[in-house]
Amino acid sequence: EGLGACNVICSDKTGTITKAEMTVKVIKMLNTTYEVTGSGFEPKGEIKLVEGVGNEADVRFLLDLLAIHTSPDVKLVQESGQWKIRGSPTEGAALVLAYKGLGEEYVKSAIEKYRLVKTFPFDRFRKRKTTIHEYGGKYLAISSGAPEILLEISSSVRLSGSDTRMSVDIKKRITDYITELASSGYRTFGVAYRFIDYIPESSEDVERDLTFLTVLGIIDPPREGVKEAIESCKRAGIKVVMVTGDHKLTAIAVARMIGLDASEENVLEGRQLDVMSDEEFNKIVDRVNVYARVTPEHKARIVKALKSKGYRVAMTGDGVNDAPALKMADIGVAMGIKGTEVAKEASQLVLLDDNFVTIVEAVKEGRVIFENLKKPINYLLTCNLGEVASVFGAELIGLPPILRPIHLLWINVTTDALPAIALGFEPPEPGLLEKPPRSAKERFITNSKLIYYIVMGTLLGGMVIALFSAMLLRGLVFAQTVAFTTLVLSEFGRSIVSRSENLNIWKLPGNKWLIPALLVSLTLQLIVIYTPINIAFGAVPLPPETFLYMAIVPLVIIVADEVRKLFKIRI
């Protein structure tokens, strides 16, 4: 219900907007480009030279490094005929590339041969991971992650089987490779290495003077239906913000694929955010649709800025470090598949399939819940005010008691309840996601609604009193039975028009619960009138023609409300 009122959804890119089915498609080495065939995580494909002079030894060395650098908990498995990765999909893509070039048996033997002795895990501040391996009497340090970051801490580059000193020109060429791949929508993944003769105590001891090896271009296609879901959000007045740790140009390319406005002024990088004051950021947060190279701390700051501008924010997250942003958001949405327990505990919702499309469906469901809470209230208040108007109106003009206490109890406990429950199961109204989100301060009962309830209740009460007065000539018990039954039938009319506040009944989808509820309520009322228990209720059997007079009241109620809707008089 809270998600239905959100007007901003901040979503992670990888695995939520995209499939997280990553495939290495391009290998960029200095002066050389290779294309990789195959799709998904299936370990079948070829590595083809498409530009420059190839060096088989360099490619082999890269594949060796990828094979032994992959975390032990990353596994390639086949389930129901489909290849899947357990663990990091990025590392999974690198492992699949190694399988394509080396074969499964070789990869397994390499992992055993070059034993892993230490790992400095990836984190979102360093934006890299480093592993240390035994390698021919020395140690080999392998670093992977954001290529532009690795480039900054590299002093040489691999070229034709040997290390060449990094120059300004070489650095520019590698930077151009990164830009070219990112602009084409690829996730960029760098690999660098260093031979050492010691086991480092900290990442700072080894993540320097590296030899830059390659930039991999990894494709991670958008999920089916995401573009349409974002269009639905736009029509519903919901701003979608994509948040990613990827390169800015990759984020822009993916944003354009899914229909987000990713012009230069609408994209912000984490490093730009770092140097902005809160005041400066608050001035531009309305227009930013894409955040690139961000950390969990940036996420929390984004939520804070959006909330300060009056937005109701939903934020997705999966890691332990996402917990502050998830707690700070109006609605935290944790990933059910890749999310940590900490992230799930910090969230109000868990997305079981990690799919952005499901978030939009949840928004729709949230709006349905709120609307379907209002409908029984609309129905019950108007009917109860009609009962009050009948009883007090008759007293005020000096008529005998119009209802017995047991009549009121029966109406409120039995015939009221079933239609009210059925209204709670009303299907979504047409155009529900075409309307802007409701205000967080919107009340169930506004001043205009209260006036409407009083008017309709008074109209109902007045007609019941008029019919009661006309029937008094046939005796008090007869007139009371008519008033009692008329109120029940009128409630049927109110339940029909309460299905929507502003749409005519012929524009609404069917409610499979309402008609059975009305039939059961009518049957119960007929049992009270026409069986011996009518004595306990102080009622008498009514001749069939009496129902023609009583039916006028609910018909007037229905026509009056449908005319209001037809003339678009909103409540």
- Active-site residue numbers? 12
CA distance 451 to 442: 17
| DSSP state, residue 196 | E
The two beta strands, 313-317 and 8-12, are parallel
Amino acid at 428: P
For residue 382, give the nearest of 471, 515, 501 by alpha carbon: 501
For residue 487, give the nearest of 509, 506, 511, 462 by alpha carbon: 462
Question: Which helix (H) or strand (E) element contains residue 138?
Answer: strand 138-145
| DSSP state, residue 506 | G
Instruction: Provide the 3-class DSSP secondary structure of residue 151.
Output: helix
CA distance 359 to 353: 10
Amino acid at 419: P
C-alpha distance from residue 85 to each of 21, 67, 258 (Å): 9, 15, 25
Q: Quick count: other Cβ atoms within 10 Å of Cβ 119?
A: 15
Q: What is the residue whose two structure tokens read 């890691």?
A: 319
CA distance 565 to 559: 10
The pair of structure tokens assigned to 255 is 């944003």
Question: Which helix (H) or strand (E) element contains residue 130?
Answer: strand 128-135
Maximum C-alpha span of the chain: 114
Question: b/e for 129-139, b at 16 or more Cβ within 10 A?
Answer: bbbbbebeeeb
CA distance 399 to 414: 27
Alpha helical stretches, state H, 309-429: 323-328, 341-346, 356-396, 405-410, 417-423
Determine whether 101 is exposed, middle or buried from the number of CB atoms within 10 Å of its CB (0-12, 13-18, 19+). buried
The two beta strands, 267-269 and 290-292, are parallel
Annotate 85-105 with DSSP letters as a single string.
EES-HHHHHHHHHHHHHH-HH
The two beta strands, 82-86 and 75-79, are antiparallel
Annotate 460-505 with DSSP letters as a single string.
HHHHHHHHHHHHGGG-HHHHHHHHHHHHHHHHHHHHHHTT-SSS-G
CA distance 342 to 346: 6
Determine whether 370 is exposed, middle or buried from the number of CB atoms within 10 Å of its CB (0-12, 13-18, 19+). middle
| DSSP state, residue 18 | B
CA distance 316 to 189: 24
